[in-house]
């Protein structure tokens, strides 16, 4: 175990609860652009009216039931130079946190979703602030299903921690605890023996299993091999393949 102290600002300091906001990512990005937020600043929303998901999708959630949180990162403070590394850091921390309560059936579904068995328990969205070629800041939006029992029918295969365990949790306390998990992972990065990529791949959903993917109008079966250090998905069937984020779509009947 590595120390939790850091010479740099700590994740979750400050930790601010917003009663209602359109999107925690929008709010956090605005704070950064106005010079009001630095590395570690975190906002948790009780109610989010226009949450963001991947590929411009909305993140639909019930008020007061789930973790809806955004965190500001300065990649240079972490020694991170690739956007995938930050994404892996955040989703791996979420995985470790959720596994503490939900058990060993938690996995990371490429590129940035959290799965319990074949159901989605949460996900993340990273948005970056650049100045020319300089990567100045990132805002990591985190959505984790905690106490919700029923979901919008437009959401495919959702699951919450309550549905898994049968116990309700305090959202604010859990969100603060999650910040601690993320902080610990940032400390792990300092140890040359720690490989975030290896840890990510060990937790990868359907690794070494056959799945059905869709690219354009073509549907095909392939075996998940892992993810490389650029964040590409590696698969194998008649040939070895690699896919960028957004290049392929997982089909509903993923697990064979």
Superfamily name and number for 15-202: Bira Bifunctional Protein; Domain 2 (3.30.930.10)
DSSP string, 90-101: HHHHHHHHHHHH
Phi-psi region of 11 (alpha: psi -120 to 50; beta: other; left: phi over 0): beta
pLDDT(95) > 70: yes
Per-residue confidence (pLDDT) for residue 55, from 0 to 100: 46
Domain boundaries of the chain, sorted by first residue = 15-202, 210-250
Per-residue confidence (pLDDT) for residue 89, from 0 to 100: 98
pLDDT(110) > 70: yes
Burial of 109 (0-12, 13-18, 19+ CB in 10 A): buried
- Structure confidence by residue, pLDDT tens digits, 218-255: 999 999 999 999 999 999 999 999 999 999 999 965 44
Number of C-beta neighbours around residue 137 at 10 A = 21
Per-residue confidence (pLDDT) for residue 255, from 0 to 100: 40
DSSP string, 103-120: -TTEEEETTTEEEETTEE
Per-residue confidence (pLDDT) for residue 215, from 0 to 100: 95
pLDDT above 70 as % of the chain: 91
Per-residue confidence (pLDDT) for residue 3, from 0 to 100: 38
- Structure confidence by residue, pLDDT tens digits, 6-34: 456 799 999 999 999 999 999 999 999 99
Per-residue confidence (pLDDT) for residue 8, from 0 to 100: 64
- Structure confidence by residue, pLDDT tens digits, 135-194: 999 999 999 999 999 988 888 899 999 999 999 999 999 999 999 999 999 999 999 999
Q: Give the integer Cα–Cα distance in Å for 167 and 221.
A: 38
């Amino acid at each position: 175990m590595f120390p939790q102290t850091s010479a740099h600002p700590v994740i979750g300091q400050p930790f601010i609860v917003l009663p209602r906001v359109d999107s925690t990512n929008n709010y956090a990005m605005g704070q950064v652009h106005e010079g009001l937020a630095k590395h570690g600043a975190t906002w948790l929303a009780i109610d989010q009216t226009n949450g963001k998901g991947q590929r411009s999708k909305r993140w639909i959630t019930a008020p007061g039931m789930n973790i809806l949180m955004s965190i500001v990162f300065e990649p240079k403070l972490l020694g991170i130079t690739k956007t995938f590394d930050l994404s892996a850091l955040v989703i791996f921390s979420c995985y470790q946190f959720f596994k503490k309560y939900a058990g060993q059936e938690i996995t990371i579904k490429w590129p940035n979703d959290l799965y319990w068995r074949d159901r989605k328990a949460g996900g993340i969205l990273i948005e970056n602030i650049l100045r020319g070629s300089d990567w100045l800041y990132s805002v990591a939006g985190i959505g984790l299903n905690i106490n919700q029992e029923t979901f919008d029918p437009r959401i495919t295969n959702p699951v919450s921690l309550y549905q898994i365990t049968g116990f309700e949790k305090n959202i604010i306390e859990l969100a603060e605890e999650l910040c601690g998990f993320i902080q610990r992972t940032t400390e792990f990065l300092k140890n040359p023996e720690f490989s975030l990529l290896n840890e990510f791949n060990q937790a990868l959903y359907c690794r070494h299993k056959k799945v059905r993917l869709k690219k354009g109008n073509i549907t095909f079966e392939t075996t998940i091999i892992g993810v490389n250090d650029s964040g590409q998905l590696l698969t194998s069937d008649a040939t070895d393949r690699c896919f960028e984020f957004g290049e392929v779509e997982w089909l509903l009947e993923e697990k064979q």
